[in-house]
Structures are given as C-alpha cells and as structure tokens.
Chain A
Amino acid sequence: MAEKEEVKLLGIWASPFSRRIEMALKLKGIPYDYVEEILEHKSPLLLALNPIHKKVPVLVHNGKTILESQVILEYIDETWKQSPILPQDPYERSKARFLAKLVDEQIITAGFVSMARADEKGREALAEQTRELIMNLEKELVGKDFFGGKSVGFLDLVAGSMIPFCLERGWEGIGLKVITEEKFPEYSRWVKNLEKVEAVKDCIPPREKHVEHMNYMGERIRSA
C-alpha cells in the first residue's frame, strides 16, 4: 500500500509566487492542504519553516520543507513525473529558467516596485521599460500555444501568475496601460489560452479584490 503523501502549501491568495505553486499542484493532480497566511500577521509555522526569508510560498512534503517558488516548481516536477513542466532539452531548460528569472527580477521591479515609487512621468518611462522586457516573452511565444509548446510549462506558470494575473491588476489600479493587444498579439493570445486551462483558471485571484490589494501593496512600498 502506498504511503500517504502529505503535501502542505503555505501561501497568500494575492501572491503570484504562491499561486503558481497551486497551479502546478493542480496541473499534476496532487492533493494538498492549503494554509492561508496573512501578510501582516505571519504565522509561527511560517516563521519557523522559513526563518531566513519569512515568505510564502512554503511547500512541506512529508515533513520536508522546500522554499523559493521556482525551486519549489522544479522540486514538484522532479518528484511527480506526470504532466512535466520543464522541457527535457538542457538548452530549452536554460532558456525557460533565464526568462523566468527575468520575470521575477527585472519585470517585477520595473513593472511594479519601481513604478510604485515613481511619479507619473517616471511611470511612463518604466512602462516602456517593462514593455521592452516583456517583448522577450512575446518573441518566445511565436508559433506556440504556450511557452511549454502544446501544454502549460514552467515559464507559463511563472509568467502567467506574475504578468496577466498580478502585474496587470497593479497597472489597472494606477490607470496605466502597459500591454496592448496591438503591440503584444502573441502575449494576448497566450493569456486567452491560459485562461482555458482549468488548473490555471482555478488559481487566478479574483480581479477586483486583487486590484485593490495591488494598490495597497504599492502604498506599502511607498511608505517603507
């Protein structure tokens, strides 16, 4: 008889980092317990499991703690082999990892963190910077349904959780139009594809509430 798997995820409903883990678990059909953390009141459990960064997501699998969302995604892919999310080829893997890093570092910085601190003129400049960065993803999508090809992969989960289902809500909140279908036809097509995938759709934070939350996060950055 198979040993019972214990999978627990500590997350925050609005966090793209924790949402992408939920998407991966659902994609692979892995049952899990979800613990909703509160940003301003992190639980003793979270602080004990992630003392260095004190952040979500945290995955606990049969008592083992895994941290950092991209590391967790790779761990999930290596542990549960169904519906693989990373490409097989080392070069393709390196490209997916490179673009995922771009999303979680430069794109979130230009597209949210710096924007929160900038004035209107500054925001326009950052929007242009963000567009240039996202153009790298646009080019990668030509001729594909998803970054992963015919199915959702690692980069789809990272970029999907972050850009259409998080940053766009931030831009809506500050009245900034960053991505247009005209300039980003591949991206726009890709978002529609993503929204049709149940595992992704089920993990998209509710829009209105999320826009409000992003405004709050912007405030938090400004007052820090």
Chain B
Amino acid sequence: MADEVILLDYWPSMFGMRTRVALEEKNIKFDYREQDLFNKSPILLEMNPVHKKIPVLIHNGKPVCESLIQVEYIDETWPGGNPFLPSDPYQRAQAKFWGDFIDKKVYGPTRLIWGAKGEEQEAGTKEFIEMLKMLESELGDKTYFGGETFGYVDIAMIGFYCWFDVLEKCGNFSIEAECPKLIAWAKRCMKRESVAKSLPDSNKITKFVPELKKKIGIE
C-alpha cells in the first residue's frame, strides 16, 4: 500500500522548511499544501487543533505536529539513507540539545530584528549574533553540525539562512562578518538538492517581510 504523506505548510516558515528538507532527504513523495495563516483551513484546524500552526505532517491520515518532532518521526519511519540522528545516545543527546537551543534561543531574537524598532530591535540583533556565535563555535571546522553527514541540527538551522538577508537589512549588520564559518556551512548545505528545493530565494523573503508586517499590524 502506498504511503500518503501531506504537508500543511507556509512557504516562508523556517520551521516548515525543516520538514520539507527532511522529506526531500529521504526521497519521500509528499503533497505540499500551502496554507493561508490569516484564514486557516478546516484541515489545519482539524489536524492541529491544539496550536493551529504549521507545519503539520499528515501520514496516512495521522497528524504529526511540531517541526523537530516531525524530523525525528521521518527519520524513524523511513530509516533508509543517511540517518538524521547518530546511533550513539550521547551524540543524539548533543544533537537534540542544539535543536532545542535553536528553538529556544535563536528564533526569538529574529522576531525582534524584523518586527521591532529602536532599543528592542538592537537588543534582538545583539542577542541573535551572540546565539549564532555559539552555534558557530559548536560547528567548529566540521562540514556539518553532525560531522561528515548532514543531519538533525543542520536541518533545524538551515531554514534561517534564507531569512539572513532581511535580518541583516533590518538590523543593519553582516552575518558573514560576524560568523563566516556559519555562512560557509550554509552555502555547503544549499548545494544539497533537498535544501535548494525547500528554501525560497532570500529576496522573496526580503520582499515578503514588509507585507507581513502590514498584515499583522506592525508599522
């Protein structure tokens, strides 16, 4: 019986990108369904009644919510190819720690950079750079966060790359100047088909942010 895989997503979402990349990495055929977050569809409300958020992965009718949970689910359900998580429990714990770090510490400041002004925006920029430097230190001289193979932490982080351009413009800073190794890592990831297919062009995001601000009522 063929698997039915549906992804409810929103094109600029760095979280949705994680799931897209994971599915592409495993060569899983999926039905991508663009959602209107300002007019939520019945299927979104039915499949994620708790949070009403994207991405939602629906596998043979059963929903899996939360992007990193989806990435792990995909890895466990379709074990072929390169596993996203190493088999050693300690290395797995390291990877999950950094995934959690990205969610807790990296995402928040980005909202301040594009969404706030003045002191708040400056504080967001400062914090974002600090967090990126921690990530860069963790990356070190490795090809990917997991070492030689593209995996969980790379997937967790790469979606932010297409947002770098707009963040730099809003915050008036250069990520490459602050974190050159991280940019080099991102460019390596972009060479992967799964990533190139899943991330929108930076300039699309840059054009989109002012429209988003209007829609959510920030000047």
Query: How many angstroms between the C-alpha atoms of A117 and B141 in the bound complex?
Result: 45
| Chain A interface residue bracket vs B | 20 to 34
- Cβ of B50 within 8 Å of any chain A Cβ, yes or no, is yes
B66, A101: Cβ atoms closer than 8 Å: yes
B90, A64: Cβ atoms closer than 8 Å: yes
Known: A68-B97, A98-B65, A101-B66. A78 touches B92 (CB 8 A): yes
- Cβ of A48 within 8 Å of any chain B Cβ, yes or no, is no
- Cβ of B101 within 8 Å of any chain A Cβ, yes or no, is yes
Contact with A along B58-98 (1 / 0, CB 8 A): 01001011100110110011000000000001101100110
B69, A102: Cβ atoms closer than 8 Å: no
- Cβ of B100 within 8 Å of any chain A Cβ, yes or no, is yes
Query: How many angstroms between the C-alpha atoms of A138 and B24 in the bound complex?
Result: 36
Stretch at the interface among A25-33, A88-96, A151-159, A210-218: A88-96
B64, A94: Cβ atoms closer than 8 Å: yes
Known: A66-B90, A79-B89. A74 touches B96 (CB 8 A): yes
Known: A91-B62, A94-B64, A102-B50. A75 touches B73 (CB 8 A): no
B73, A136: Cβ atoms closer than 8 Å: no
Q: How far is the CB of A202 from chain B (nearest CB, A)?
A: 25
In the bound complex, residues from chain A placing their C-beta under 8 Å from that of B37 are none
Query: How many angstroms between the C-alpha atoms of A61 and B93 in the bound complex?
Result: 12
- Cβ of B43 within 8 Å of any chain A Cβ, yes or no, is no
Query: How many angstroms between the C-alpha atoms of A121 and B90 in the bound complex?
Result: 46
Q: How far is the CB of A112 from chain B (nearest CB, A)?
A: 18
- Cβ of A178 within 8 Å of any chain B Cβ, yes or no, is no
Which of B66, B77, B92, B105 is A90 in contact with, Cβ under 8 Å? B77
Query: How many angstroms between the C-alpha atoms of A67 and B92 in the bound complex?
Result: 12
Q: How many residues of B contact A (CB 8 A)?
A: 22
- Cβ of B28 within 8 Å of any chain A Cβ, yes or no, is no
Which of A68, A94, A136 is B69 in contact with, Cβ under 8 Å? A94
Known: A91-B62, A94-B64, A97-B72. A66 touches B93 (CB 8 A): yes
Known: A91-B62, A91-B64, A94-B69. A52 touches B101 (CB 8 A): yes
Query: How many angstroms between the C-alpha atoms of A133 and B65 in the bound complex?
Result: 15
Known: A68-B100, A71-B97, A91-B62. A78 touches B73 (CB 8 A): no
Query: How many angstroms between the C-alpha atoms of A93 and B76 in the bound complex?
Result: 10
Query: Quick one: which of B194-219 are within 8 Å of A by CB?
Result: none
Q: How far is the CB of A125 from chain B (nearest CB, A)?
A: 18
In the bound complex, residues from chain A placing their C-beta under 8 Å from that of B65 are 98
Q: How far is the CB of B23 from chain A (nearest CB, A)?
A: 15
From B90, which residue of chain A is reached at the shortest CB distance? A64
From B64, which residue of chain A is reached at the shortest CB distance? A94
In the bound complex, residues from chain A placing their C-beta under 8 Å from that of B96 are 68, 71, 74
From B60, which residue of chain A is reached at the shortest CB distance? A91
- Cβ of A200 within 8 Å of any chain B Cβ, yes or no, is no
In the bound complex, residues from chain B placing their C-beta under 8 Å from that of A24 are none
A74, B69: Cβ atoms closer than 8 Å: no
Query: How many angstroms between the C-alpha atoms of A181 and B105 in the bound complex?
Result: 38
From B50, which residue of chain A is reached at the shortest CB distance? A136
In the bound complex, residues from chain A placing their C-beta under 8 Å from that of B97 are 66-68, 71
A93, B73: Cβ atoms closer than 8 Å: yes
From A93, which residue of chain B is reached at the shortest CB distance? B76
Query: How many angstroms between the C-alpha atoms of A79 and B100 in the bound complex?
Result: 21
In the bound complex, residues from chain B placing their C-beta under 8 Å from that of A78 are 89, 92
Which of B50, B66, B76, B100 is A71 in contact with, Cβ under 8 Å? B100
Q: How far is the CB of A122 from chain B (nearest CB, A)?
A: 22
Q: What are 25 A-B pairs with beta-carbon distances under 8 A?
A: A52-B101, A64-B90, A66-B90, A66-B93, A68-B96, A71-B97, A72-B93, A74-B92, A74-B96, A75-B89, A75-B90, A75-B92, A78-B92, A90-B73, A90-B77, A91-B64, A91-B73, A93-B73, A94-B64, A94-B70, A94-B73, A97-B66, A97-B72, A98-B65, A98-B66
The 10 A-B residue pairs with the shortest CB-CB distance, nearest first, are: A78-B89, A90-B76, A75-B93, A94-B73, A71-B96, A94-B64, A66-B93, A90-B77, A97-B69, A79-B89
